[in-house]
Amino acid sequence: MDKICILDMGSQYTHLIARRIREHGVYSEILPNNISVDELKQHKPIGIILSGGPNSVYEENSPQLTEDFFTYIKKEKIPVLGICYGFHLIIHQLGGRIKSFTQKEYGKMELEILKPGKLLDSLDKTEIVWMSHGDQVEIMPEGFEILAKTSTCPIAAYANEGFGLYGVQFHPEVNHTPKGMTILDNFISKIVQAKKQWKLENWIEKAIESIKREIGPKDRVILGLSGGVDSSVVAVLLQKAIGNRLHSVFVNNGVLRKNEEVEVQETFQQVLKFENFHYVDAADLFLERLKNVEDPEEKRRIIGHTFIEVFESKTIELEKTYPDIKYLAQGTIYPDRVETSATSSVSAKIKSHHNLTLPDDMTLKIIEPLKDLYKDEVRKIGIKLGLPPNIIKRHPFPGPGLAVRIIGAIEKDKLSILRDADEILIDEIKKAGVYDNLWQAFCVFLPLKTVGIMGDFRTYEYICAIRVVESLDVMTANFAKLDWELLEKIGSRIINEVKGINRVVYDISNKPPSTIEYE
């Protein structure tokens, strides 16, 4: 299958580029910027994109391409598109000059097309584009021609047709560049001439065939099922491939949302007719270990380790009856595997990692059927597999659950308050028809008491924060500008119906600098 490789220069948008290419029907993969030419060759790219990045090309330790990169792409005639930092890097490494401009270009700018060439074909004379870098190309080496400029950036797009090098100062992959998809399609279709072979239609049959081949006719598979989109899609896919040789284990960790354990059991046992669905109620064990724990990282660590322990002992128990359990299935998806330069340096410091790895002494072989897919692709596959919409459209829910939405120590009464408030929020958001447009909507329990008045009585109760965000790529998120009347309704229902809350606040912070979750 034709493949486009993206070399990650550290941009927060690298995954977005890869997704856009796939939306155009071409398979794409992200690779580190310091990859050797020999390794790159193994991937057999038919086109390469150099992503944006926060650095300046002259900075010490800024990402650079290996010297033989240009020899390789020239010899193999592999077209390259540089975006933002990648745009500067091509010029810099081929002997041109980059300059940090005092009049920096950020945000929406008007692009004037001087000569469309293949890259800017079928665009209007002027187009809106999204800029996010202070550096600009000042002098280009021989063979390059200017395709477009803006009022303060004389070289905003270039081409070197002979060499197969193209570049744009702006970001075609973001929605703020309205014709960005056309530019990427021009690169894919007119320059690279890639065959559009990445279709999810055939994906399911192929995946089922390959699971059958890998697992063999007798072996059994165990899966930790959370009820979230990824593990649910893996479960249904495996059920189609190996039927009741799949054992799904759903652990109640005591920090689930209201009725979640009931709903997940009903969906899998009654609706989807899973035979070997195992419910493990370990709520008391988790809550006992979380008692008086206030530190967010400690909460995550305890929940992670306890989960592994509970899952492992259930596996050992099942192995006694089913010695053919040989595989452990995981709902790993593509972004979980590819730590892009942008995320790996930052996220490691912010929060301990989300997805757990099981201990080395578990001798099960790992199977990860979704490992090459993006979330939106997983959702599409889930719909085709007949998973109910309540699972497919579900907002992401963190592994440590409500534990990271109760600030400070977790207590049963606080959990119950938070569950009731959260249920009201989700109910109203769904009734207003906005749930599917939001990335996440949830309540957070703030262990602060303030004064209120209810009827003739003075109250002294806790605060509930409402967090509702929109996001495309999770790296950035904006608080949702919900309708005031909807917010008012949510607030008054929570205050009136949930005992223990007498004040509701709406969180107006964006990410960055805030994160989506509170802990």
Tell me which residues are annotated as active site.
84, 171, 173
Cβ 371 to ligand XMP, closest distance in Å?
Answer: 16
Quote the least distance from Cβ 516 to ligand XMP, whole Å.
Answer: 3
**Residue 379: φ, ψ to 5°:** -60, -45
Taking the complex as a whole, the smallest distance from the CB of residue 485 to ligand XMP amounts, in Å, to 27
> At which residue do the structure tokens 């262990």 appear?
447
Using CB under 6 A, which of 74, 149, 351, 493 touches ligand XMP? 351
Residue 516 interacts with ligand XMP (CB under 6 A): yes or no: yes
* Total number of residues that touch ligand XMP (CB under 6 A): 13
Q: Tell me: does residue 337 bind ligand XMP (CB under 6 A).
A: no
**Closer to ligand XMP by Cβ: residue 44 or 305:** 305
Is 440 among the residues that bind ligand XMP (CB under 6 A)?
Answer: yes
Could you say which DSSP state residue 113 is in? E
- The answer to whether the bond into 513 is cis (omega within 30° of 0) is yes
> Least Å distance between CB 446 and ligand XMP?
16
Applying CB under 6 A, the span of 59-67, 252-260, 369-377, 508-516 interacting with ligand XMP comes to 508-516
DSSP string, 21-78: HHHTT-EEEEEETT--HHHHHHT--SEEEE---SS-TTSTT-----THHHHHHHHHT-
Q: What is the Cα–Cα distance from 50 to 4, expressed in whole angstroms? A: 11
Q: How far is the CB of 347 from ligand XMP (least distance, A)?
A: 7
Report the residue from 3, 104, 384, 511 that binds ligand XMP according to the rule CB under 6 A.
Answer: 511
- What is the spatial distance between Cα 514 and Cα 404, in angstroms, rounded to a whole number? 15
According to CB under 6 A, which residues from 371 to 400 bind ligand XMP? 396, 398-400
Site string for ligand XMP, 261-300 (x = CB under 6 A): ---------------------------------------x
Chosen residue from 474, 487, 493, 500 binding ligand XMP by CB under 6 A: 474
- Two tokens, residue 336: 């979980």
| 168 vs 477, beta carbon nearer ligand XMP | 477
Q: How many CB atoms lie within 10 A of CB 291?
A: 10
Q: Show the tokens assigned to 95.
A: 């002997």
Question: From CA 250, how far away is CA 244, in angstroms rounded?
Answer: 16
Residue from 179, 55, 52 nearest 120 by CA: 179
- Is residue 478 part of the contact set for ligand XMP (CB under 6 A)? no
Look at phi and psi of residue 123 and say left if phi exceeds 0, alpha if psi is from -120 to 50, else beta.
beta
Amino acid at 457: F
* Minimal distance, residue 90 CB to ligand XMP, in Å: 33
Q: How far, in Å, CA of 340 to CA of 146, rounded?
A: 31
> What is the identity of the amino acid at 438?
L
Nearer residue to ligand XMP within complex by CB, 236 or 333: 333
Based on the shown chain and the rule CB under 6 A, indicate whether residue 227 belongs to the binding site for ligand XMP. no
Which residues bind to ligand XMP, rule: CB under 6 A? Answer: 300, 351, 354, 396, 398-400, 440, 474, 511, 515-517
